[in-house]
Structure 1
Amino acid sequence: MTSNPKEALTLRLDELSDPRIAVLLEEHLADMYRISPPECVFALDLQALKQPDVRFWTAWDDAGDLLGCGAWKWIDATGETHAELKSMRTTTTARGRGVGRAILQQLLADARAHGVQRMSLETGPHDFFKPAHGLYRAAGFEVCGPFGDYVEDPHSLFMTRLLG
């Protein structure tokens, strides 16, 4: 999963109590507000991620360092069980080591186990997000139109995939 075969990666369903998670989420939100207009930022803050309709996962190395996080959130959809990926983020030092891929695989497996049939996401179209676009495409996501409460927006790219 990571570039060092001796390095263990632990994924856990998290209650968001570790202060390092708050720091990582603040960094995530700061980047989103730096790149997109405020009205086009849909990232969830710490309190929003603690809601009962959200499942939040973290990745940790064998030294106990936080490497990344991600979540999925139930959304209302027409006639199917639909969820949205939220708050995907890896630490700067963990990028390029397979952490994001491991978190995404865990989120998709967890959602499947909870009866989710379709997973969608909103991300930015800008160059900053190109690594994420590649990760999502490799996991079977395809570009789609807005879903849920989203509307067409030049600062948003929407993707979706069925979960089998």
Structure 2
Amino acid sequence: MDIRLDDLNGPEIKALLQEHLDDMYQTSPAESVHALDLSELKQADIRVWTVWEQNQLLGCGALKTHSAEEGEIKSMRTSNAARNKGVASTLLQHILNDAKQQGLTKISLETGPQDFFAPARALYKKYGFAECGPFADYQPDPYSTFMSKTL
């Protein structure tokens, strides 16, 4: 697997992020969807990586920096063809290592409590994330589960 910092200009990443947004809007009410669109992911405080095998996009994930100490995982997505092949674990480890190199001491994320998100919650728990309250600008929401990890 080849992990690349992505400029978000390729058709493959655009399609994968649209698939991600479509699933989020099918799973949660619009006001409870916190996934970022392509333009929002192009902000200076966000780094996005993609995972490739040869010319096939397997997944993506992002790290948003909130402060010198805190970051947030955004837009974690594995393509349907690459599910259960270790892509998300590999990418999560990469993002956590990058966060440590930046000097971040806490990483948080928002995901859903619905069954659709059970694999994501299990992955994060496996890597030491624990449920927490809302962070950054988030508010309590019945369609959100907040998790964090101290690095």
TM-score, length of structure 2 as denominator length: 0.98
2:70 paired residue among 82, 90, 93: 82
Percent identity of paired positions between Structure 1 and Structure 2: 53
- Determine if the alignment matches structure 1 residue 70 to structure 2 residue 58: no
Q: Give 1:41's aligned residue.
A: 33
* CA offsets 1:65-115 (integer angstroms, 9 cap, x no match): 000000010125xxx610110000000010000000001001111111111
Aligned equivalents of 2:75 and 2:110: distance in 1?
10
- Determine if the alignment matches structure 1 residue 110 to structure 2 residue 101: no
1:88-107 alignment to 2 at 5 Å?
88-107=76-95
* CA offsets 1:94-139 (integer angstroms, 9 cap, x no match): 0000000001001111111111110000000000000001100001
Amino acid at match of 1:37: P
Give the match's secondary structure for 1:148.
coil
Aligned equivalents of 1:128 and 1:104: distance in 2?
19
The structure whose Rg is larger is 1
1:1-12 alignment to 2 at 5 Å?
9-12=1-4
Amino acid at match of 1:67: L
Structure 2 residue runs of 5 or longer lacking an equivalent are none
CA positional deviation for 1:17: 1.3
Q: Give 1:55's aligned residue.
A: 47
Amino acid at match of 2:56: D
Give the match's secondary structure for 2:49.
strand
Which portions of structure 1, spanning 4 or more consecutive aligned residues, are displaced by more than 4 angstroms?
A: none
Give the match's secondary structure for 1:149.
coil
Give the match's secondary structure for 1:30.
helix
Number of equivalent positions: 151
Aligned equivalents of 1:17 and 1:153: distance in 2?
32
1:19-34 alignment to 2 at 5 Å?
19-34=11-26
CA RMSD of aligned residues (A): 0.8
Give the match's secondary structure for 1:87.
strand
- Determine if the alignment matches structure 1 residue 133 to structure 2 residue 121: yes
